[in-house]
Amino acid sequence: MWNFLGKVNRNLIVAIPVMMAAGFLFGLAGDPAPLKNLIVPLTFLMVYPMMVTLNVRKVLEGGDARAQLLTQAINFAVVPFVTYGLGLLFFKDQPYMALGLLLAGLVPTSGMTISWTGFAKGNLEAAVKMTVVGLTLGSIATPFYVRLLMGAEIEVDTATVLRQIAVIVFVPMAAGYLTRQGLVRRYGQKGFQQEWAPRFPAMSTVGVLGIVFVAIALKSAAIVSSPGLLVKILVPLLILYPFNYALSTFAGKMLLPRGDAIALVYGSVMRNLSIALAIAINAFGAEGSSAALVIAVSYIVQVQSAAWYVKLTDRVFGPPAPAPPAAEPAATATAPGPERPVPPPAEAPAVPVFRKILYATDLSETARHAIRYACGIGVRHQADITVLHVVPDALKQYSDGAGADLSARAGDKGGREYNTKEIEAADNAVRGRVRETAAEIGRSFPFCPLSKEDVVVRVGDPVEEIVSMAREGDYDLVILGTHGHGKLEGLMIGSVAEGVVRRCAKPVLVVRLPDAPASARKAGETALR
């Protein structure tokens, strides 16, 4: 289940329109009014998990004051007034839809601020602080902004809105903080990061999709009566987001270093639409569904625009500073030959999109380098990663050593028994390694594409099994290392990498790995016993 929810979380650009369509059909098929009873539990399910993974202590750290001040200036002195102006222009006779646009621009930053900053190789520490500060200030300021800007058009009970925000934001924030502290005390920081932290964003996604479903279901009749309503909503959003990106990009490029500038962009453009949606549904009664419709459509524009901006980041701010030569291995997409990397062609073709990646590992310490390439590509392309480990057929090796075919005497059952111990040990080792690596990467990318559920252990010849699985699973890319040291010589050494490159019909990325010290090789061998 967690693996499925994680995939949904990484594909909100598809999941949200699907839930909007489902809610629309549900609203047409029957009476959606009873769905209102789900709003409170769905709101809590949406906000509370996000608070568990939010590290409130980060706000106390210094070092990026200019980026923080500039971000909040854009968030509270510019964007709310731009959204208010767009609301007056496009929703002059529909004040609650104008309210939805205002709410979509009032509460800044969310977990996506941190994620997209990481994807673009920005300053993650600054992004975390922007999220905490923006969320707190936005929650406090929202009722006063709404009262100031919309009080003449709609009835705004400031006390009611404040109570709703306390229930929606600050109660879950306190509960999330206590939950985090309790889990850290019981399982330790490492156990929390590995076992628990990756689960909460997926739980929040269920709440988000549920609220979107309810919001659209409640407005389905209005959409049918006015088919152009969704287009009317899209137009101001397609003005607001490009304006916000342009303003933040210009300010960041002129005033901040690259990492802080990227954090500024996502800290001011990514709005906390989950909380805005909850406020619209909970604080404004039946009319709030009109505001919620605008916010639900904002999800689509926000997620899609963030994905496109990542692709443009290096063009806008320049590439990130290169890592020291010893920190990262060289990589080449050809079979290993001389020790120098193979240079790319003069005119490289357009980079394809990778949706399914097969990563083959021998469980050596040096193989950790290759898995970082797999994760980096997986995060950038929002791809699913399957981890493959090949266990040599013990019975075949015994037969080769004896000079006779022992498999005929052992039979199928006997053959399986020869390999059972090795398979179980390898499976446990691979899942453990994936869990550890996912936890490490999850600190930078909350939506890490690695999952211990996507692990496959096969028995046989490594080249044949890797090539076969790449073909059967129709993977877009195969990734493996060249200098691993597994239990048996030849498991994943250069000859295997060369064999995969020669025989595999899919693109193959071969990562040149550093030689492991003797102690690391011994530890890798012990892990398989």
Cβ atoms within 10 A of the Cβ of 194, count? Answer: 20
Query: Residue 149 is part of which domain span?
Result: 2-317
Q: Let me know whether 297 and 339 are in one domain.
A: no
The label of the residue with tokens 């009317």 reads: 232
Q: Let me know whether 503 and 391 are in one domain.
A: yes
pLDDT in tens, the chain (529 residues): 656 666 666 666 677 788 888 988 998 898 888 887 787 787 777 777 777 776 666 556 566 789 999 999 999 999 999 999 999 999 988 999 999 999 999 888 766 677 677 767 788 778 878 887 888 888 888 888 988 888 767 777 777 777 777 777 778 878 888 898 888 888 877 677 667 777 776 777 787 788 778 878 877 887 788 878 888 999 999 999 999 999 999 999 999 998 899 999 999 998 888 788 778 877 787 788 888 889 888 877 887 788 788 778 888 988 876 544 444 444 444 434 334 444 444 444 455 778 889 998 876 666 667 777 888 787 777 788 888 888 776 545 444 443 444 344 444 544 455 556 666 766 677 677 777 766 666 555 555 666 666 788 888 888 888 999 998 888 989 998 876 444 433 444 467 888 888 889 899 988 876 665 544 444 443 333 3
CA distances from 25 to 8, 201, 295 (A): 21, 27, 19
Q: In 3-state terms, what secondary structure has residue 482?
A: coil
State the DSSP code for 56.
Answer: G
Give DSSP secondary structure letters for 73-105.
HHHHHTHHHHHHHHHHHH-TT-HHHHHHHHHHT
Q: Let me know whether 313 and 341 are in one domain.
A: no
The label of the residue with tokens 């390999």 reads: 419
State the DSSP code for 334.
Answer: S
Could you say which of 284, 317, 350 is where a domain stops?
Answer: 317
How many structural domains comprise the chain? 2
CA distance 301 to 84: 18
Q: Let me know whether 362 and 511 are in one domain.
A: yes
Cβ atoms within 10 A of the Cβ of 322, count? Answer: 8
Residue 322 lies in a domain: no
CA distances from 491 to 15, 237, 477, 488, 503 (A): 40, 54, 20, 6, 17
Tell me, what CATH number does 88's domain have? 1.20.1530.20
Q: Let me know whether 148 and 44 are in one domain.
A: yes
pLDDT of residue 444: 56
Q: Let me know whether 335 and 387 are in one domain.
A: yes
Residue 354 lies in a domain: yes
Could you say which of 262, 291, 317 is where a domain stops?
Answer: 317
Cross-strand pairs, 529: none
Residue 326 lies in a domain: no
Q: Let me know whether 53 and 126 are in one domain.
A: yes
Q: Let me know whether 292 and 390 are in one domain.
A: no
- Structure tokens, 377: 């590509």
Residue 70 lies in a domain: yes
Q: Let me know whether 286 and 352 are in one domain.
A: no
pLDDT of residue 83: 95
Could you say which of 317, 350, 380 is where a domain stops?
Answer: 317
Question: 119: which residues sit within 8 A by CB, 6+ positions away?
Answer: 310, 379, 380, 445
pLDDT of residue 491: 44
Query: Cβ-count burial of 307 within 10 angstroms (0-12 exposed, 13-18 middle, 19+ buried)?
Result: middle
Residue 324 lies in a domain: no
Residue 274 contacts residue 138 (beta carbons within 8 Å): no
Residue 23 lies in a domain: yes
Listed in sequence order, the DSSP H helices in 318-406 are: 367-381, 394-402
Residue 273 lies in a domain: yes
Tell me, what CATH number does 350's domain have? 3.40.50.620
Q: Let me know whether 393 and 269 are in one domain.
A: no
Cross-strand pairs, 271: 108
CA distance 148 to 136: 19
State the DSSP code for 444.
Answer: T
pLDDT of residue 79: 95
Q: Let me know whether 121 and 174 are in one domain.
A: yes
- Structure tokens, 34: 């009873």
Residue 325 lies in a domain: no
CA distance 231 to 228: 5
Residue 91: which of 237, 219, 224, 283 has the closest Cα? Answer: 237
Q: Which residues of 202-220 are buried (b: 16+ CB within 10 A; e: fewer)?
A: bbbbbbbbbbbbbbbbbbb
- Structure tokens, 275: 């909380």
Q: Let me know whether 301 and 370 are in one domain.
A: no
Cβ atoms within 10 A of the Cβ of 159, count? Answer: 8
CA distances from 216 to 66, 134, 291, 297, 430 (A): 40, 28, 11, 10, 43
